[in-house]
């Protein structure tokens, strides 16, 4: 029987989605000039959606099952991508169970991206190996990543994992090492920089420009 995600996990996901929706609504409701510029920045169209789930705390059986279910649903429903927003400092399931999760990430027909954030979040211990199975990786300033240990399975991105096998790094250090692929102070910044996510550039009355997603976020 499939385990349902814990109340805390569900609450965290709801809070995350409110935050992402707030980012989009805020961007769309800001005053813009009559000559607002709308330009598709990334390849892709407004069809489809990006799924966002929050992964926090230890990767226990409930959280691992929640991630696996999220991957299955995102693939079945035709998502453009799945973002794992992470703040986790370890794995407490059997290694074979964690290995199965990593293999599912690698086998996914849609990109699975990992963002460590917001500021103050960590992705450490074996949990850090999630980035080895991710398509794009980003970190918020003030977050840390590392102490990943030796890869649990073959096929993980060792160029990302080797430098953090026995140490943790900051967001800037991860960028310098080539571990992160997207500049992402916030999850909104991470989202609009993902390949396949359609975005537009909007110029406000004060002349400032910003990017906002056209692709739906769930």
> How does pLDDT run along the chain (218 residues), one tens digit per residue?
444 455 444 444 444 444 544 444 444 444 433 334 444 444 455 568 999 999 999 999 999 999 999 999 999 999 999 999 999 999 999 999 999 999 999 999 999 999 999 999 999 999 999 999 999 999 999 999 999 999 999 999 999 999 999 999 999 999 999 999 988 999 999 999 998 888 888 888 888 888 888 888 88
Would you call 191 exposed, middle or buried from its count of C-beta atoms within 10 A (0-12, 13-18, 19+)?
buried
**pTM of structure:** 0.79
Q: Supply the CATH classification number for the domain 8-24+37-206.
A: 3.90.226.10
CA 80 from centre of chain: 13
SS3 state at 158: helix
Cα distance between residue 125 and residue 164, in whole Å: 10
Q: Which residues contact 100 (CB under 8 A, 6 or more apart)?
A: none
Boundaries of every domain in the chain = 8-24+37-206
CB atoms within 10 A of CB 162: 15
The SS3 call for residue 150 is coil
- Packing angle between helix 95-107 and helix 61-76, nearest 10 degrees? 20
For residue 48 the two structure tokens come to 């489809």
Helix axes 61-76, 7-29, angle to 10 degrees: 50
> Which among 61, 107, 53, 104 is positioned nearest to 82, based on CA atoms?
53
Contact 81, 50 (CB under 8 A): yes
């Amino acid at each position: 029987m499939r385990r349902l995600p814990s109340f805390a996990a569900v609450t965290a996901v709801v809070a995350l989605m409110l935050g992402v929706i707030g980012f989009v609504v805020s961007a769309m409701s800001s005053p813009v000039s009559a000559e607002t510029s709308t330009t598709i920045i990334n390849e892709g169209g407004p069809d489809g959606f990006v799924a966002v789930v929050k992964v926090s705390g230890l990767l226990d059986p409930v959280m691992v099952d929640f991630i696996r279910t999220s991957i299955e649903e995102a693939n079945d429903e035709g998502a453009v991508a799945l973002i794992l927003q992470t703040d986790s400092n370890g794995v407490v399931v059997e290694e074979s169970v964690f290995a199965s999760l990593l293999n599912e990430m690698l086998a996914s027909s849609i990109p699975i991206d990992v963002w460590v954030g917001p500021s103050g979040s960590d992705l450490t211990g074996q949990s850090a190996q999630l980035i080895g199975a991710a398509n794009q990786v980003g970190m918020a300033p003030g977050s840390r990543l590392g102490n990943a240990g030796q890869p649990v399975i073959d096929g993980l991105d060792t160029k990302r994992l080797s430098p953090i096998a026995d140490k943790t790094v900051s967001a800037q250090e991860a960028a310098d090492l080539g571990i992160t692929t997207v500049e992402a102070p916030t999850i909104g910044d991470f989202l609009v920089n993902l390949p396949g996510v359609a975005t537009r550039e909007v110029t406000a009355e004060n002349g400032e420009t910003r990017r906002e997603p056209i692709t739906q976020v769930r």
